[in-house]
Amino acid sequence: MTDSTAAPAPVPEKSGLWEDFIDIFYRPSDVFDRRREGQFGLALLILVVATTALYFMLQNGLAPIIDAEISKQIAAMVEKNPAAADQAAASRGMMEKFALFGVIIFVPIGVLLTAVVLWILGRLVDAKIAFAAAMMIGTYAQFPRIAETILNALQGLLLPPEAITSRYSVQLGPARFLDPDSVGPFLMTLIGGLDVFTIWVTVLLAIGLSVVGRIPIGRAAIAAAGVWLVTLLPQLYSAITAG
């Protein structure tokens, strides 16, 4: 007489958090699938700590890029108000410190804003996801920025100082090869949003929304492109006012 009771199916082994940080670079669908319940807290903490640590460890490489951006801002301030030249020059030290410490604030805020926009636009394309899941997608989608920080620092160390005139000078995108003065701030900002790492982040947002929201990748891509545009709007507005 055989036992008719079926043996219970084996429970799949859960992957650790560190495997997520590897898989997100070459098997992102697996990461989003196993974290679809919205577990993002520890991953976000690690993202902030890793990004902050890299900024301090790679200061020598990132300094030329930060200095170039600050010089541009000071030049714009002086052009609008020549009488503020001394005040603008005196504020350089404070701006440099803020650029380094600001990453601690801007990384989580950036993830939060991305998640809010993704959650709203996701609903417009029929992706039924919880806000926690949107936060998870937004968090893991930002991990390529760690590689970007390392690559930028290497360029800051290897490129001659005169070759770095702005953050676009180290971008892997078309803005790297354009002259900001001839293109104009608005178009430069728009083209600057088409670098490899920003596109990578946007693709991860689309994959995450498709997997978690159970919608076709085409509709998820539309929502992800909307996130890209919305998050670029503040920079475009600043470019318009600067112009």
Please report the DSSP string for 205-242 in residue order.
HHHHHHHHHT--HHHHHHHHHHHHHHHHHHHHHHHHHH
| Residues 208-224 pLDDT 10s | 999 999 999 999 999 99
- The reported pLDDT for the residue numbered 92 is 65
Domain count, the chain: 1
pLDDT tens digits, one per residue of 50-61: 999 998 899 889
- Average the pLDDT over 120-145 and give the result: 95
> Which residues have a Cβ under 8 Å from the Cβ of 64 and sit 6 or more positions away?
156, 159, 161, 164
Flag whether pLDDT at 23 surpasses 90: yes
Within 10 Å of residue 54's Cβ, how many Cβ atoms? 19
Q: Phi and psi of 169, rounded to 5°? A: -65, -20
Q: Is 7 helix (H, G, I), strand (E, B) or coil?
A: coil
Which pLDDT score is estimated for 5? 46
Please tell me the predicted confidence (pLDDT) of residue 2.
44
- 166 within a domain of the structure (yes/no): yes
Does 115 reside within a domain? Answer: yes
Q: What is the pLDDT of residues 135-146, one digit of tens each?
A: 999 999 999 999
Mean pLDDT of the 187-214 span? 95
Helix (H/G/I), strand (E/B), else coil: 91: coil
Handedness of CA 64, 68, 74, 75 (dihedral sign): positive
> Is the pLDDT higher at 82 or at 130?
130
Is 143 a member of any domain?
yes
Q: Residue 82: its pLDDT value, please?
A: 66
Q: Residue 162: its pLDDT value, please?
A: 87
Residue 127 lies in a domain: yes
Give me the domain span that covers residue 86: 33-242
Instruction: Specify if 49 maps to a domain.
Output: yes
Span 111-128, mean pLDDT?
Answer: 95
Compute the average pLDDT of residues 171-200.
91
Domain presence at residue 26: no
Give domain status of residue 218, yes or no: yes
- pTM for the model stands at 0.86
Is there a domain that residue 12 lies in? no
Q: How confident is the model at residue 43 (pLDDT cuts 50, 70, 90)?
A: very high
**Residue 12: pLDDT over 50:** no
* E strand spans, the chain: none
pLDDT at 184: 83
Residue predicted with more confidence, 31 or 66: 31
Pairwise CA distance, residues 54 & 139, whole Å: 17
pLDDT at 190: 93
Top-confidence residue, 105 or 17: 105
| Residue 237 in tokens | 């507005």
